[in-house]
Chains A and B, each alone.
Chain A
Amino acid sequence: MTIFFQDLLAHAHVLHAVVGAFLASISCGIMGSYLTVRRMTATAGAISHFLLGGLAIAGYLKTVAGWQVGPEAGALVSAVVAALLIWAITIWAKQREDTVLSVIWSVGMAVGGFFIFATPGNTGSLQFYLFGNISLISAQGLLPMGFLALFLVLFFTLFHRTILAIAFDADYAKLRGVRVSLFSFFLLLFASLTVVVVVQLVGIVMAIALLSLPQAVASTFTCRFWQLMVASVLLNILFTVGGFAVSYEPGFPPGATIIIFAGVFYVISLVVKAWRKRRKKQISA
């Protein structure tokens, strides 16, 4: 751990990783709380896996077609497409939502696999896409992360009342004149952008963890929506920065360490919850 703190001040990339983790935690804590109370965390999973398609196509266009596109562009475009697809399908088509999500999830992965295979010398990047690498976050990469975090804090502060009403009972919000489908779309889009940010930290496969595990832990001790968001942000900072710090010296894979760290907390929170419930019963008995 001491080496981590020494390097934090000595090496810019370590500092960038920590700042990136901090900013991503803000976005994840907020968006994950919204997705959790609307029971839409599977949507985040579908979006993150769909991103592989965009990342791989961007890689293909760059290497094979010679386009000047970075992986960020591919991730961004596919995030917007995923949000549009999910929103349109759930609004217009009378399809089962979980079926739609599974299709988006698997077809995105399949397209990704296909284009990675078609791109010479690109198979190495698959590992990065799947598991992320927090130490590769650059100074330029921090700017959009910071912008998204700031924007989400503002948006959820200004529209807190509307968002809460939609999440609790969308029908009632609609009756009150709230533009529910417009809000739902933009919230879905923001969730997609948040996923793009998280994927850099922990990769496609584990992105869903940072959007649901902190909320699961936080919901054992919070009883208001804003408390859930604040607690999730703090827990996310603890998981990402803590996980990275723990992984740094022994050279563990940072993404995996972060998620295992979060998973351990989740299990502890379950045990505490069960223990509290039993004690409550004993007291009342």
Chain B
Amino acid sequence: MKKASLKNQNKNSSSVETPSQKKPFIEFDQASFSYGNEKILENITASIYPEELVSVIGPNGSGKTTFLRLILGFLQPTAGKVAVFRHYPELSMSRIGYVPQHLLYDPAFPVTVMDVVLMGRVKRGLQRITLQDRKAAGNVLSRLGLEEFADRGFQDLSGGQRQRALIARALAGDPVLLLLDEPTASIDRETEAEIYGLIRALASTMAVVLVSHDLGVVPRLSNRIMCLNRDLAFHETSALTGEDIQDMYQCGVELVHHHDHHQERNR
């Protein structure tokens, strides 16, 4: 933790635009996305750098999940560009770990926790589960305190344990970039703190993009905050300063307002 805060100070003293001397992992260049006539994201320009924790906040329906799906390559921008690992030809998309918000799996899906974590190391083509796969999965499980659950059914876990198992799956593939979509949406307060602590610790070794509508904890955790708002414009704040916090709360107030507006429009 101490190391992380030192890093923040360094970032503050350096250029505001580039929190790291390294080249960005992800670049949005005036990217937009729309479903038919419905604009989800508009004209987004942003970069995400190695070893930083960026949180993306905004109300429901503000395009946060779309933002992640553009990075993952599941969606293509309808205008502009999204580039991932452009400056890192040695990195492939399989170096991205992803923790989805909703899993569309069968609630009685017959898998063990170990099976789920091993899925984080699946690759293209014919393959077997190797000893190396098992070792890596085992290491991640013990790192997340799940080793005793390895052979339990995934459906028998509590919400928080399930979330940790999905984070374990994301980490099993040895990612350099970790994307999390509302990782604390369906868990209790205590587990939430635990998960946030874990995410903070992970950010010292990889880039983390955390999507959330939690304005309480998430901003304090992050190196940078991005706010998606109704107009789908994009605010980017530099490393946390008092001013930025102010910005953020403005953003928060704005978002609440916009949320109401949205509901009115839906009526």
Hey, which chain A residues are within 8 Å of B111, CB to CB?
A: 164, 168, 223-225
Known contacts A159-B126, A176-B122, A178-B124, A164 near B115 by CB under 8 Å: yes
For the complex, what is the distance from the CA of A54 to the CA of B115, rounded to whole Å?
A: 41
A165 & B100 in contact (Cβ 8 Å cutoff): no
Known contacts A161-B128, A168-B116, A176 near B109 by CB under 8 Å: no
Q: Which of A161-190 contact B (CB under 8 A)?
A: 161-162, 164-165, 167-169, 171-179
Hey, which chain B residues are within 8 Å of A93, CB to CB?
A: none
Q: What range describes how many residues of A lie at the interface?
A: 20 to 34
Hey, which chain B residues are within 8 Å of A10, CB to CB?
A: none
For the complex, what is the distance from the CA of A37 to the CA of B108, rounded to whole Å?
A: 8
Known contacts A169-B103, A219-B110, A175 near B94 by CB under 8 Å: yes
Looking at the assembled complex, report how far the CB atom of B143 sits from the nearest CB atom of chain A, in whole angstroms.
20
A225 & B110 in contact (Cβ 8 Å cutoff): yes
Q: What range describes how many residues of B lie at the interface?
A: 20 to 34
Check B98 for interface membership: any CB of A closer than 8 A: yes
Hey, which chain B residues are within 8 Å of A228, CB to CB?
A: 110
Known contacts A176-B173, A178-B122, A161 near B127 by CB under 8 Å: yes
Hey, which chain B residues are within 8 Å of A227, CB to CB?
A: 110
- The secondary-structure label for the interface of chain B is loop
Check A119 for interface membership: any CB of B closer than 8 A: no
B94 & A177 in contact (Cβ 8 Å cutoff): yes
> Which of B98, B109, B127, B129 is close to A175, meaning CB atoms less than 8 Å apart?
B98
Check A158 for interface membership: any CB of B closer than 8 A: yes
A165 & B112 in contact (Cβ 8 Å cutoff): no
Looking at the assembled complex, report how far the CB atom of A182 sits from the nearest CB atom of chain B, in whole angstroms.
10
Looking at the assembled complex, report how far the CB atom of B2 sits from the nearest CB atom of chain A, in whole angstroms.
33
Q: Which of A75-105 contact B (CB under 8 A)?
A: none
Looking at the assembled complex, report how far the CB atom of B200 sits from the nearest CB atom of chain A, in whole angstroms.
24
Hey, which chain A residues are within 8 Å of B115, CB to CB?
A: 164, 224-225
Known contacts A161-B127, A161-B128, A169-B103, A177 near B109 by CB under 8 Å: no
Hey, which chain B residues are within 8 Å of A164, CB to CB?
A: 111, 115, 119
Looking at the assembled complex, report how far the CB atom of B191 sits from the nearest CB atom of chain A, in whole angstroms.
22
> Which of A158, A173, A219 is close to B126, meaning CB atoms less than 8 Å apart?
A158
Residue of B with least CB distance to A222: B110
Check A36 for interface membership: any CB of B closer than 8 A: yes
Looking at the assembled complex, report how far the CB atom of A211 sits from the nearest CB atom of chain B, in whole angstroms.
15
Q: Which of A207-261 contact B (CB under 8 A)?
A: 219, 222-225, 227-228
Check B123 for interface membership: any CB of A closer than 8 A: yes
Known contacts A168-B116, A176-B94, A36 near B106 by CB under 8 Å: yes
Check B245 for interface membership: any CB of A closer than 8 A: no
Hey, which chain A residues are within 8 Å of B100, CB to CB?
A: 169, 171-172
Residue of B with least CB distance to A162: B122
Residue of A with least CB distance to B93: A175
A175 & B110 in contact (Cβ 8 Å cutoff): no
> Which of A161, A169, A172, A223 is close to B129, meaning CB atoms less than 8 Å apart?
A161
Hey, which chain A residues are within 8 Å of B112, CB to CB?
A: 223-224
Hey, which chain A residues are within 8 Å of B96, CB to CB?
A: 175
Looking at the assembled complex, report how far the CB atom of B112 sits from the nearest CB atom of chain A, in whole angstroms.
7
Leading 8 A-B pairs by shortest Cβ distance: A177-B124, A165-B122, A223-B153, A165-B119, A176-B122, A228-B110, A37-B106, A225-B110
A-B contact pairs, 27 of them (CB 8 A): A37-B110, A38-B106, A161-B118, A161-B127, A162-B127, A164-B115, A164-B119, A167-B109, A168-B105, A172-B100, A172-B120, A173-B119, A175-B74, A175-B98, A176-B123, A177-B92, A177-B93, A177-B94, A177-B123, A178-B122, A178-B123, A179-B124, A219-B108, A223-B111, A223-B112, A223-B153, A224-B111
Which A residues form the contact surface with B (CB < 8 A)? 36-39, 158-159, 161-162, 164-165, 167-169, 171-179, 219, 222-225, 227-228
Instruction: Please give 14 more A-B residue pairs, beta carbons under 8 A apart, in addition to A224-B115, A227-B110.
Output: A36-B106, A161-B118, A162-B122, A169-B105, A169-B119, A171-B74, A172-B119, A176-B94, A176-B124, A177-B123, A178-B122, A219-B110, A222-B110, A228-B110
